[in-house]
Structure 1
Amino acid sequence: MSGVESDAGVFTFLLNNLGVQNVQFEELLTLEPDALATLYPVYGVIFLFKYPTDTPYTSTDKPLDGTFDRDAAERHFFAAQTIQNACGTQALLSVLMNKDGEVDIGQQLREFKEFTMVLPPEFRGEALSNSELIRDVHNSFAKSSPFVDETQRTSGETEDAFHFVAYTEVDGTLYELDGLQPAPISHGACTSGDFPSKVMEVLQRRIARYDMSEIRFNLMAMVRDLRIQAREIGDAEMLEREEQKRRDWQFENALRRHNFVGFAGSVLKGVVETKLNEGEGAYDKWIEAAKTKTRQRMESRKKGGGDDVEMEG
């Protein structure tokens, strides 16, 4: 499996295609508990962060924060991550499977959960990778990386790795569910009402362990479909806003499924051919004009001008 983009629209339609009803994701731009509380009911959050390479990430004895609850792996859904680049989908399922009853997860996922709960976490992870439904839905939203292989062959630099983990309240406890860890991590007693403040405290401590210059984090909340609330309170403006959001997400997701490298190459060839057909010297003049514009842009940036010079055809 390839990785999926940390985007509320991607994760929402991932849910829909898995057969889940009346649930969506919302991106959070702040760690203020009130921002999360306003989205009530909140089923859990998914946190994306840079995978640390300077310190050990996994531990068999004690996590950096909280405590391992090894018995919880038997009572609740927790799966070891056994395949690369699927941590986003696995984090989504870690919240979802533990909210069965509060959320309509659909027949296929319910049957999958019933089958895998009798297995140990490592075999649940294998079952995730072998599920045709989960694999096909995940891959349909996987990020397209048409240049990645060439880059890896020619560049000695390694790209930063990022990882998703899930946080949710289950049976009065706040759990961190991370398939790279040996067990669920308990962060203490928590109710659904306490969840926004409790989880934000944990995330603030987690982010504080990074250098101040590191800002590449992303936080998404799994919540009830906001269109339901809009209909309940009769807010036509909110309903239209949410419907437009779905239309935008659908369009963006359609674009993600396409590899535009071939299209861009064809356009470039067409432009070059047009210039060559304009007569002798037209192509060379076009190239020199482009070089001049590029130099002007670079000089403007060096001087602190900040404004880009328009490229002309």
Structure 2
Amino acid sequence: MSTQADASKPASSKWIPLESNPDVMNAWAEKLGLATKVSRFNDVYGLDPDLLALVPQPSKAVLLVFPLTEKIDKERRESDEKIQREGQKAPIDPTIFFIKQTIDNACGTIGLLHALGNADVTIKPMSPLAKFFEQCADETPDKRALILEHTKLFTSAHVEAATQGQTSIPADLDTDLHFVTFVVAPDPTAPIDDGDDTRNQFEKRIIELDGRRSGPVDHGPTKDETFLKDVAKIVREEFIGTSVSLEFGMISLGPPEGH
């Protein structure tokens, strides 16, 4: 999906839209440093409990692709304004990795970075992903976006992934489909266990990460074992419930099938 400043951007700043396809995402992630024998992107075939049960568990992040209509875009901007005025349901964990989207159609790569930057996955030392996250560690979301813009390897990796299985680059790069990512995050308000420096591992929050929004958005409590089901409920009620489109897709980051 394009950024909000399309008219002022040169054509060269537009990337090719990324397909919502786990094979494409796994190829991208493996090339850049994810240990895909341990963690992979898997299809979510539907929101019904029987279909969710087919997804390898535990799910550590979920990417959602959906049609970003003018109505939905307006609602999300209004939601951001309300958050800025009134705050969120709970404080956002300060360790959350969040990056702004400044490149048109880069929402797929942004979504993947949000998933891998916040999930408990193995990233190979000295790989492009490891170096990128290290470089971005103490930077603002806007500075992280600037670093991404100037990291040519990510540009080429996105193009390679976006054209995988396609015979030619699409002539029209405009699309209304957009990626967001849901991740499991610690609850900063959870009580600290006696004799332990970490917060209660069972008290987690669902955080939505969208580079077009002003920041991370809290969607309420969850647990590791119910995360995928809880995200499916959010998608059903807050995304599909307000749309007449069928162009929705979900990809889960978790263990490989059969593990």
TM-score under structure 1 length normalisation: 0.62
Find the residue that maps to 1:226 and give its secondary structure: coil
Aligned residue in 2 for 1:196: 228
1:72-100 CA-to-partner distances (Å, cap 9, x unmatched) read: 3742100011111111111011011101x
- Output the CA distance in 1 between the equivalents of 2:49 and 2:149: 34
Residue among 74, 77, 83 paired with 1:58: 77
Residue among 37, 49, 52 paired with 2:66: 49
Structure 2: runs of 5 or more not aligned: 1-14, 187-203
- Output the CA distance in 2 between the equivalents of 1:18 and 1:87: 17
Q: Return closer, same or farther for 1:169/1:72 CA change in 2, 3 Å cut-off.
A: same
- 1:217 to 2:248 alignment: yes
Residue among 172, 185, 207 paired with 1:175: 207
CA positional deviation for 1:35? 3.1
Amino acid at match of 2:58: P
Residue among 146, 166, 176 paired with 2:181: 166
Q: Return closer, same or farther for 1:121/1:186 CA change in 2, 3 Å cut-off.
A: same
Q: Return closer, same or farther for 1:196/1:126 CA change in 2, 3 Å cut-off.
A: same
RMSD between superposed Cα atoms in Å: 2.4
Q: Return closer, same or farther for 1:89/1:146 CA change in 2, 3 Å cut-off.
A: closer
Find the residue that maps to 1:62 and give its secondary structure: helix
Residues 112-151 of structure 1 mapped to structure 2, 5 A cutoff: 112-143=132-163, 146=169, 148=171
- Output the CA distance in 1 between the equivalents of 2:53 and 2:63: 15
Q: Return closer, same or farther for 1:71/1:183 CA change in 2, 3 Å cut-off.
A: farther
- Output the CA distance in 1 between the equivalents of 2:91 and 2:139: 13
Find the residue that maps to 1:25 and give its secondary structure: strand
TM-score under structure 2 length normalisation: 0.74
Residue among 93, 106, 119 paired with 2:113: 93
Aligned residue in 2 for 1:16: 30
Q: Return closer, same or farther for 1:30/1:169 CA change in 2, 3 Å cut-off.
A: same
Query: Bigger radius of gyration, 1 or 2?
Result: 1
Find the residue that maps to 1:45 and give its secondary structure: strand
Asked if the contact 2:16/2:169 (under 8 Å) is kept, the reply is no
- Output the CA distance in 1 between the equivalents of 2:89 and 2:146: 21
Q: Return closer, same or farther for 1:95/1:33 CA change in 2, 3 Å cut-off.
A: farther
Aligned residue in 2 for 1:27: 43
- Output the CA distance in 2 between the equivalents of 1:35 and 1:224: 17
Q: Return closer, same or farther for 1:3/1:70 CA change in 2, 3 Å cut-off.
A: farther
Find the residue that maps to 1:61 and give its secondary structure: helix
- Output the CA distance in 1 between the equivalents of 2:142 and 2:149: 11
1:273-295 CA-to-partner distances (Å, cap 9, x unmatched) read: xxxxxxxxxxxxxxxxxxxxxxx
Asked if the contact 2:45/2:52 (under 8 Å) is kept, the reply is no
Residues 74-93 of structure 1 mapped to structure 2, 5 A cutoff: 74-93=94-113
Aligned residue in 2 for 1:105: 123
Residues 265-280 of structure 1 mapped to structure 2, 5 A cutoff: none
CA positional deviation for 1:36? 3.1
Q: Return closer, same or farther for 1:147/1:123 CA change in 2, 3 Å cut-off.
A: closer
- Output the CA distance in 1 between the equivalents of 2:82 and 2:111: 21
In the comparison of the two structures, how many residue pairs are matched? 213
- Output the CA distance in 1 between the equivalents of 2:211 and 2:53: 27
Which structure ranks higher in relative contact order (CA pairs < 8 Å, sequence separation ≥ 6)? 2
CA positional deviation for 1:4? 1.5
CA positional deviation for 1:19? 1.2
Larger helix share, 1 or 2: 1
Find the residue that maps to 1:3 and give its secondary structure: coil
Q: Return closer, same or farther for 1:37/1:97 CA change in 2, 3 Å cut-off.
A: farther
Asked if the contact 1:51/1:163 (under 8 Å) is kept, the reply is yes
Q: Return closer, same or farther for 1:92/1:36 CA change in 2, 3 Å cut-off.
A: farther
- Output the CA distance in 2 between the equivalents of 1:82 and 1:225: 32
